[in-house]
Amino acid sequence: MTLQPLTPEAAITSNTLPEIDYPDSDGNPMSDNTEQYRWIVIIKENLEIMFADDPNVFIAGDLLWYPVRHTQKRFAPNVMVAIGRPKGRRGSYKQWLEDNIAPQIVFEILSPSNKDRRGIDSLEEKFDFYETYGVKEYYIYDPDEMILEGWQRVGDRLVKIPSMMDWVSPLLGIRFDWTTGQELVLSRPDGQRFLSSIELDRRLQQSKIQVWQEQQRAEQERKRAEIQRQRAEQESQRAEQESQRANRLAARLRELGIDPDDEL
C-alpha cells in the first residue's frame, strides 16, 4: 500500500505552529465617559456579588478574549461571564487554556464614540465575533438614549430577542426591568436590584446601623430582664425574711406557753 503525503493543512497542527504573542491590552480605554463606566461597574460588580459563592463562574470587565490559538483575533467585551471556569487573575482570556469554554454572556455599553461610523463598524465586528465564537446571550445598552437590545443563541446564530421588557436571562436569571425611554433596572433572581457602589455602601452602613440598634435594643431588654430578676429575687428574700421572723415569733410564743395557732 502506498502512503499518501499529508496535505499542508494536516501537516501543520496547533502543536507545531509557532507560538505568538497575545497582548493583554489593545491600547483602547475601558470606557469613554463616566456613564458608560458606571454601567460597566454596576453590571460587573453586581454579577460578582451574585456568584460570589460559586467558584466556577468567572466574570470580567474589559478583558481581552482570544478564542483561537495562534491568532491575535480578539475582542474585549465590556462585561463577560464564563460559566464553568474558575475565578482568578488573568491578563486575558485565552480560550484554549479554559477547557475551550467560551464566555456565554456578554454585555456592551454604548458611548458616543461607538455610535459614530467607526463605532458602528466595530459593533458589527463584535456581533460577528460573538456569534462565531459561541456567545449564548448578548446584550447592548445605551444609557444616553436608554435603548436596550438583546440576542439569544438559536443553533449557530444569535437571534434578536423580540422584546426586552421584563426579560429574564436564561443563564443568569437576572431580570431586565425596562421600558422604552426609561433607565434600565437590573434585578437578581431574589428580586434584589443591582446597586451602584454608593448605594451598596449606604445599604451596608444602614445595615450596620440597624445591627447596632438591634444590639442596643437587645441590651436594653437584657438589662430590663436583669432588673426584673433582681426585683423578684429581692421580693423572694423579703418573703423569706418575713417567714423566718414569723417562725421565730411563733417559737417565742410557744416558749411562753402560748399557742400561736389558737384563734383569739
Q: Tell me: the pLDDT tens digits for 112-142?
A: 766 654 445 568 889 999 999 999 999 999 9
Select the more confidently predicted residue: 57 or 243.
Answer: 57
What SS3 state is found at 205? helix
Name the β-bridge partners of 150: 139
If pLDDT is split at 50, 70 and 90, which confidence band does 92 have? very high
Give the residue from 61, 32, 33, 31 showing the smallest Cα distance to 46: 61
Dist. CA 139–CA 121, nearest whole Å: 17
Mean confidence (pLDDT) of the chain: 85
Give the residue from 191, 106, 120, 85 showing the smallest Cα distance to 151: 106
Give percent of the chain with pLDDT exceeding 70: 83
pTM exceeds 0.85: no
| Helix/strand/coil percentages in the chain, nearest 5 | 40, 20, 45
Give the distance from CA 119 to its chain's centroid.
30
If pLDDT is split at 50, 70 and 90, which confidence band does 27 have? low
The pLDDT score that the predictor gives to residue 116 is 54
The pLDDT score that the predictor gives to residue 22 is 81
If pLDDT is split at 50, 70 and 90, which confidence band does 108 have? very high
The pLDDT score that the predictor gives to residue 196 is 80
The pLDDT score that the predictor gives to residue 7 is 43
Give the distance from CA 108 to its chain's centroid.
18
Would you call 137 exposed, middle or buried from its count of C-beta atoms within 10 A (0-12, 13-18, 19+)? buried
